[in-house]
Chains A and B, each alone.
Chain A
Amino acid sequence: MSSSEERKLILKSSDNEEFVVKESSAVQCLTIKNLVEDRCVSDPIPLANVDSKILALVIEFMEKHAETTLSNSEKKEFDVEFVKKPFDDLLELILAANYLDFRELMDVLCNTCAKQMENWSVEEVREKFNIQNDYTVEEEKAARAENPWAFE
């Protein structure tokens, strides 16, 4: 086992909680990988945009996906269970994955988000995301008329 596999990093959440992770898992986050490669790693690495609750979840995902002994289908099974979380948590995880540039996590979360959206009506989507409908009645009609096939 080469020494880089044993190297650990300390990540600090926005609410000052510290987490120890293997460098080899953490570099799945390109933001962290860049810090390591540019030798800009401070000890601990402060992650101002991620709180401890979300960071713990990111680390759980990160470590699972870094395990070389797991097959792809085992990882997929883990993903299926991992995304069974309240919608608000999923959105926060998306923001964290974006900030950390963690492509794999981002793809799984966006896919989950999309799958949920498929099942909702337009009104439900607005509700779940708190989207304010600022269309006037005429404007909404015109928008629908642009692609009528999608609304019938």
Chain B
Amino acid sequence: MCSGRSEADLISNLPGSIIDNIMGCLPLRDAVRTSILSREWRYKWVTCPELVFDFWFDQMFLGNHKLEQLVYPILKLHRGPLVKFALQVPAFRSCPHIDQWVDLMQNNTIQDFTLHISRGDSHRLPFRIFTFHQLRKLKLYKCVFNPPPGFKGFNKLLNLDLQNVDLVHETFASFISACRMLERLRMIDCTSFDCLEIDSPKLKFLEFHGVFRFIAFKNSPLLEEVSISFSSMEFKTGKSFSSNLIDSLSCLPSLEKLHLQAFALEELAEDGLPRNLPVTLKTLKILHLSDMYFEKIEEISCVLCLIRSSPNLQKLKITAFTFDVVESVGEYLRAQKSSDCLLAQLKTVDMLLFSGVEPEMEFVKYLLASATGLEEMAILPHSGSVSDGGESILNELTPPPNNFNNHQFVKII
């Protein structure tokens, strides 16, 4: 088989760090396949600092082999520092093997750990995870997360991503507070909270989907992007829910980008339709309001109130969720004074899932008349409700060419 080639081997003698780098970019299966390239290559893959078990390890590709039987031998063969371990495989269930795998991982090298349980019961994380003091990124799906008493936090953790994770109220706030370097926190469909406390001096990004009654930001001076959405309407336990939420958000000195569902604001209207909030969101530049029904005057008025209370807002994005057309909403909007200088700073508006019904159109017309500094309005029609690609919407919003207030910047996307 030896053909007597005189050309040098181009890769096998590259420094180990380069080979490891390339190996780390290969899917695990391809990395393991390099073991048969030549004798030299038999165990090059075992020093790859990353072990990622992903969709390829779905049972349909593995044939007779079971994932649970493969992970342990691979971890045993592994040499050198293991920096990343990820297991995110379809139909993966909790099993006792997981704790055995965690036992094999060196706790002083792992920086990136992902465990994704797809089906069945949540997996109770072994205490050994809490000894991984080099962790920078932790991503958990369907686990039970309960730090042991006296746990001093992951003091290098930058990124925490929790979905469907069971948390313990008493320990979670102090856990977050102990992870002093945390920059990104994501909590999706985790345990419901009565009061969610965020004490996180380096936090820049927060995404929350679930249920809380109150949120309190203690010491979050760098938090610039917040996205909050509620998985159930039950959280709205009467008065002052919305004003508490806005009050908490107004305490964030760096908040630039905010996403809320429009209905989360409705309680602001409890004491009559507000014009302005008692607080201003001075630093807010981008506001995204989703699930906007356009069916209640309270919703519209609270949305306008929030926009007016954000003096430096440049971009507004609205995702509509309109089903019923309510006439009084259109009337209310027509009655609004359009000489509203508090909207003069707005430059861009995106209207998504736009059906073109009267309340939506009146809202857009109100913005076009009041936001005197507007440079761009992009409308993405809801394909289920709009059959002409948005042409009639555009015609209604764009006056004839001899009108000097020609809204040339309105476009359908």
A151-B10 contact, Cβ under 8 Å, with A110-B21, A131-B41, A132-B38: no
- Interface membership of A98, Cβ < 8 A: yes
A125-B18 contact, Cβ under 8 Å, with A114-B25, A115-B25: no
Q: Are A94 and B9 in contact, with the CB atoms below 8 A?
A: no
In the complex, what residues of A have CB within 8 A of residue B18's CB?
A: 94, 98, 106, 110
Q: Are A91 and B11 in contact, with the CB atoms below 8 A?
A: yes
- Interface membership of A68, Cβ < 8 A: no
Q: Are B26 and A133 in contact, with the CB atoms below 8 A?
A: no
CB distance from B149 to the nearest CB of A (A): 41
Q: Are A122 and B37 in contact, with the CB atoms below 8 A?
A: yes
- Interface membership of A152, Cβ < 8 A: yes
The CA-CA distance from A122 to B26 in the complex, in Å, is 14
Partner of B38, one of A88, A91, A131: A131
Q: Are A143 and B35 in contact, with the CB atoms below 8 A?
A: yes
Q: Are B8 and A150 in contact, with the CB atoms below 8 A?
A: no
The CA-CA distance from A131 to B21 in the complex, in Å, is 19
Q: Are A149 and B62 in contact, with the CB atoms below 8 A?
A: yes
Name B1-39 residues within 8 Å CB distance of A: 1-2, 5, 7-12, 14-15, 17-18, 21-27, 29-30, 32-39
Q: Are A111 and B14 in contact, with the CB atoms below 8 A?
A: no
Closest chain A residue to B10 by CB distance?
Answer: A129
In the complex, what residues of B have CB within 8 A of residue A125's CB?
A: 34, 37
Q: Are B30 and A133 in contact, with the CB atoms below 8 A?
A: no
- Interface membership of B218, Cβ < 8 A: no
Name A69-122 residues within 8 Å CB distance of B: 88, 91, 94-95, 98, 106-107, 110-111, 113-115, 117-118, 122
- Interface membership of A53, Cβ < 8 A: no
Q: Are A143 and B36 in contact, with the CB atoms below 8 A?
A: yes
- Interface membership of B233, Cβ < 8 A: no
Name B274-325 residues within 8 Å CB distance of A: none
* Sample of 19 further A-B pairs with CB below 8 A, known A91-B10, A130-B5, A130-B10: A94-B14, A95-B14, A98-B17, A106-B21, A110-B21, A114-B26, A128-B10, A130-B7, A131-B12, A131-B37, A132-B2, A133-B1, A133-B37, A143-B42, A147-B32, A149-B29, A149-B65, A150-B32, A150-B33
User: Could you jot down 13 A-B contacts, CB within 8 Å?
Assistant: A98-B15, A98-B17, A106-B18, A110-B22, A125-B34, A129-B11, A130-B8, A134-B39, A135-B38, A143-B35, A143-B42, A150-B29, A150-B32
